[in-house]
Amino acid sequence: MQSQDYKKRLKIQIIILLSILISSCTVPSVTTALSTLLERESIRVGTVYGAATFYNGADGPQGFEYELLAGFADYLGVTLDLYPFYSYEDMLQQLEEGNLDIVATGDAVTPSLKRRFNYGPAYQEVEQQLVFRAGTSRPRELNALDHPIVVVSGSSQSQLLAALLFPNAEPVNSKTLIATEDSDFEELLQQVAIGDITYTVADSNRLALQRRRYPDLAVAMTLHEAMPMAWALPLNQDDSVKAALIEYFGTVHQSGWFTVLEDKYFGHIRQFDYVDSRAFNQSAEATLGKYKPLFQQFSGELDWRLLAAMSYQESHWEPDAVSHTGVRGLMMLTLDTAGDWNVEDRTDPEQSIRGGSRYFASLLNRIPARIGEPDRTWMAMAAYNIGMGHLEDARVLTERQGGNPDLWVDVKRRLPQLRQKKYYRTTRYGYARGDEALQYVENIRRYYDSLVWLDQQGKI
């Protein structure tokens, strides 16, 4: 998955799993749910479209749930047959009827769902939060809302609200709760942000993803904490597939790959700054246009939007920006770096972007070739902030402490240690503001995500 060593470990796990299956069978052999899909050489999985589940990106299928599912199919040595559904309830019905092996919704598990389905191991926990638009009246009590809450029909949110609002009966033509199949989770959050509806309920994962796009989304209250997320299985089948899921998730957690994947999709968006997000989106729409051609011209093999995100973090796209350390311009170049890349006037937008782009490309080329993407980009970005020597110190600390120096998720945990004497006195280059470098990279990742979305919407 992320490395050859990891793939080898997966193959070993497959051999062990198949050996257990074979040794546990007597003659005549007993057909299990797992042996059926292994013989079929495919696993049929239902999911829903969404940034946290599955979507077709520029580089092919993407999404947190999709990558986990693809990993499980590889683990079993079968083909992943993925069926995206528009209707949440239709998908669950297909699982009940035996037309799917697994359903991966990216949704929480409720007591009512556990009565209908079996579940694999929980791999995340989320909060369920009542969402409204910032600037409007914040509701204080769930039972005293001035408008209905709109949620996706059949989802954990609809079931949770039904239990909270109508504990003794199912709602009929409720003016308090509206369950719809016309909009998905992300659309409902967008509708709250633009004022088309007043309230919805979202889990903390989906809300974190959407708040970068719509900073006006605000949390009124948390309705439920620590709800588990897991893949659903048919209720009345044997536990062979569930056992394989337990083995698989144990393997990906032990290898560290799950942590890498979680960081890829959620690690940089857990913290939310309303003022910063709103200011960034406004600046992107109002200011970025004048510099966009320069970012595109000098980006080379880089994504121009990543270069633009770096520039915003550096200077907020102010060509005359200057820091207390003396760095200047859109890309905040030092005098030495400017000289190295033939930048005569650091406040000239074209020269600054050209120099900053080439300098960053040189840092990327200095990252060891064995380090894959996106880790090498995040590490080069940290080096742009604190220097390649201090990045290498953080990688050395990572290896000393048993982490993987080739994984950003491990290295970023050690960057703040460069500010602590007991650690930096053991390094080659000494003290550095590593905590600032960490925040620098995480900010740029958030800005980049927002720029990609704004670009797709035609707003920049």
What pLDDT is stored for residue 397 in this prediction? Answer: 97
CATH T-level topology, domain 274-456: Lysozyme (1.10.530)
Q: Do domains 125-228 and 274-456 have the same CATH topology?
A: no
Residue 28 has pLDDT above 70, yes or no: no
Residue 154 has pLDDT above 90, yes or no: no
Structural domain boundaries in the chain: 4-120+230-267, 125-228, 274-456
Per the residue annotation, which of 41, 314, 318, 373 is the catalytic one?
A: 314
What pLDDT is stored for residue 13 in this prediction? Answer: 54
- What CATH class has 4-120+230-267? alpha beta
* Token duo for residue 307: 């270069």
What pLDDT is stored for residue 326 in this prediction? Answer: 81
Q: Which residues contact 411 (CB under 8 A, 6 or more apart)?
A: 379, 382, 391, 394, 395, 398, 403, 405
The per-residue DSSP string of 224-249 comes to EEEEEE--EEETTS-SHHHHHHHHHH
Position with higher pLDDT, 364 vs 168: 364
Position with higher pLDDT, 40 vs 168: 40
pTM (global) more than 0.75? no
* Token duo for residue 54: 């599955």
Q: Which residues contact 70 (CB under 8 A, 6 or more apart)?
A: 61, 80
Q: How open is the CA angle 132-133-134, to the nearest 5 degrees?
A: 120
Residues 327-356 as b or e (16 or more Cβ within 10 Å = b): bbbbbbbeeebbeebebeebeebbbbbbbb
Mean pLDDT of 271-277: 72
Amino acid at 75: Y
What pLDDT is stored for residue 270 in this prediction? Answer: 66
What pLDDT is stored for residue 12 in this prediction? Answer: 42
Residue 125 known to be catalytic: no
Distance CA 362, CA 380 (A): 9
Q: Which residues contact 143 (CB under 8 A, 6 or more apart)?
A: 165, 176
* Token duo for residue 248: 């698989």
Confidence of residue 405 (pLDDT cuts 50, 70, 90): very high
Q: Is the four-CA dihedral 151, 155, 157, 160 of positive or negative sign? A: positive
Position with higher pLDDT, 265 vs 94: 94
Identify the bridge partners of residue 359 per DSSP, sorted by sequence position. Answer: none
Q: Count other C-beta atoms under 10 Å from residue 57's C-beta.
A: 11
With left for phi above 0 and alpha for psi between -120 and 50, is residue 255 left, alpha or beta?
Answer: alpha
Q: What is the pLDDT of residues 315-343, one digit of tens each?
A: 999 999 988 778 899 999 999 999 999 99
Q: What is the pLDDT of residues 76-135, one digit of tens each?
A: 999 999 999 888 889 999 999 999 999 998 889 999 899 999 999 999 999 999 999 998
Q: Which residues contact 22 (CB under 8 A, 6 or more apart)?
A: none
What is the CATH number assigned to the segment(s) 125-228? 3.40.190.10
User: Mean of the per-residue pLDDT values for the chain?
Assistant: 88
Mean pLDDT of 147-172: 84
Strand order across the 232-234 sheet: 79-85, 42-48, 102-104, 232-234, 117-119
Measured between alpha carbons, how far apart are the two ends of the chain, in Å? 35
Virtual torsion, Cα 334, 338, 343, 345, nearest 10 deg: 20
Which of 64-68, 142-146, 171-175, 409-413 comes out lowest in average pLDDT?
Answer: 171-175
What pLDDT is stored for residue 17 in this prediction? Answer: 55
Residue 3 has pLDDT above 60, yes or no: no
**Under a CB-based contact definition with an 8 Å cutoff, are residues 209 and 106 in contact?**
no
Position with higher pLDDT, 4 vs 379: 379
Residue 20 has pLDDT above 70, yes or no: no
Q: How open is the CA angle 103-52-447, to the nearest 5 degrees?
A: 175
Mean pLDDT of 376-400: 96
Q: What is the pLDDT of residues 422-435, one digit of tens each?
A: 999 999 999 898 99
**Under a CB-based contact definition with an 8 Å cutoff, are residues 319 and 330 in contact?**
yes
* Token duo for residue 110: 């409720």
What pLDDT is stored for residue 16 in this prediction? Answer: 47
Residue 1 has pLDDT above 50, yes or no: no
**Under a CB-based contact definition with an 8 Å cutoff, are residues 427 and 396 in contact?**
yes
Q: What is the largest CA-CA distance in the chain?
A: 82
* Token duo for residue 329: 């311009």
What pLDDT is stored for residue 171 in this prediction? Answer: 54
What pLDDT is stored for residue 119 in this prediction? Answer: 96
What pLDDT is stored for residue 268 in this prediction? Answer: 73
Confidence of residue 174 (pLDDT cuts 50, 70, 90): low
